[in-house]
């Protein structure tokens, strides 16, 4: 209950009670606080509220960040109507359009459990890696790879000029390929020869047409 009281009503609403829709917002907010069994995303909700997010957006972000299996309520429509006091989920979709940072918040909350246990996992990794036993071999190898002291033999590093990323000019590669194809076809055509003046080679006209079409193609 102490955590419930920390959700101060003064910071829960973005507008005055006279603003259209705010009366329903306050009623829905009161019902959420009065629930004896809080949803699984309640702790995330409180943290988002402590970060300054109003109660409706905090509830949406916390709900959207929670695992879909067993999530309450099940759908976005139900969240809007049964929890947030909205007529439909259309308002939530407007939030997402006008506040792109909401998606970033959802991603941050989703990964938060992993980050909270990161130190514990690192400590466990170091503890096992320090064991002078065969069981610690994999952990030692992973530890040294993470610190950059060991690189597997099969590792292959591909870099561009001065260690930068590799740059690929697709248009230049395409033109080079077309030039090579044209040279091959022209060489084949010259090899067949012209038996009589005005007589064309045995090279089908369709292949020549393909060359002309390919040169005008752009990627």
Q: Same domain, yes or no, for 109 and 124?
A: no
Q: Same domain, yes or no, for 125 and 176?
A: no
| pLDDT confidence of residue 167 | 62
Q: Same domain, yes or no, for 95 and 135?
A: no
pLDDT digits (tens, 9 = 90+) for 126-157: 999 898 888 888 888 888 888 888 888 765 55
Q: Same domain, yes or no, for 101 and 195?
A: no
| pLDDT confidence of residue 186 | 76
Give the range of the structural domain holding residue 37, as residue numbers without chain letter: 2-115
Q: Same domain, yes or no, for 46 and 125?
A: no
More confident residue, 172 or 122: 122
The reply to whether 161 falls in a domain is no
More confident residue, 167 or 210: 167
| pLDDT confidence of residue 27 | 96
Angle at which helices 205-215 and 170-192 pack, to 10 degrees? 160
Residue 81 has pLDDT above 90, yes or no: yes
The reply to whether 61 falls in a domain is yes
Q: Same domain, yes or no, for 97 and 38?
A: yes
For 198-216, what is the mean pLDDT?
42
The reply to whether 56 falls in a domain is yes
Where residue 192 falls among pLDDT bands split at 50, 70, 90? low
| pLDDT confidence of residue 205 | 44
Q: Same domain, yes or no, for 134 and 109?
A: no
d(CA 110, CA 104): 10
Q: Same domain, yes or no, for 176 and 87?
A: no
Q: Same domain, yes or no, for 23 and 110?
A: yes
This prediction's pTM: 0.60
Residue 214 has pLDDT above 60, yes or no: no
User: Structurally, how many domains does the chain consist of?
Assistant: 3
pLDDT digits (tens, 9 = 90+) for 11-68: 899 888 888 889 999 999 999 999 999 999 999 999 999 999 999 999 999 999 999 9
73 prior amide bond cis, ω within 30: yes
Q: Same domain, yes or no, for 183 and 198?
A: yes
Q: Same domain, yes or no, for 130 and 109?
A: no
Is 95 in contact with 60 (CB distance < 8 Å)? yes
For 97-102, what is the mean pLDDT?
93
| pLDDT confidence of residue 170 | 62
């Amino acid at each position: 209950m102490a955590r419930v009281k920390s959700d101060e009503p003064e910071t829960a609403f973005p507008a005055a009670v006279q603003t259209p829709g705010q009366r329903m917002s306050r009623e829905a907010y009161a019902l959420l606080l009065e629930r004896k069994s809080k949803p699984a995303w309640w702790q995330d909700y409180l943290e988002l509220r402590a970060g300054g997010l109003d109660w409706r957006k905090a509830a949406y972000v916390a709900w959207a960040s929670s695992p879909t299996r067993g999530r309450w309520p099940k759908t976005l429509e139900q969240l809007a109507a049964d929890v947030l006091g909205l007529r439909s989920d259309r308002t939530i979709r407007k939030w997402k359009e006008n506040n792109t940072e909401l998606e970033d918040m959802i991603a941050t909350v989703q990964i938060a459990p992993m980050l909270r246990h990161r130190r514990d996992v690192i400590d466990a990794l170091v503890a096992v890696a320090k064991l002078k036993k065969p069981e610690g071999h994999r952990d030692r190898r992973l530890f040294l790879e993470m610190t950059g002291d060991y690189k597997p033999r099969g590792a292959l590093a591909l870099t561009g000029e001065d260690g930068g990323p590799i740059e690929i000019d697709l248009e230049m590669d395409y033109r080079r390929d077309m030039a090579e194809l044209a040279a091959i076809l022209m060489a084949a055509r010259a090899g067949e020869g012209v038996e009589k003046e005005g007589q064309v080679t045995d090279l089908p006209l369709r292949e020549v047409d393909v060359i002309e079409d390919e040169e005008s193609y752009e990627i």
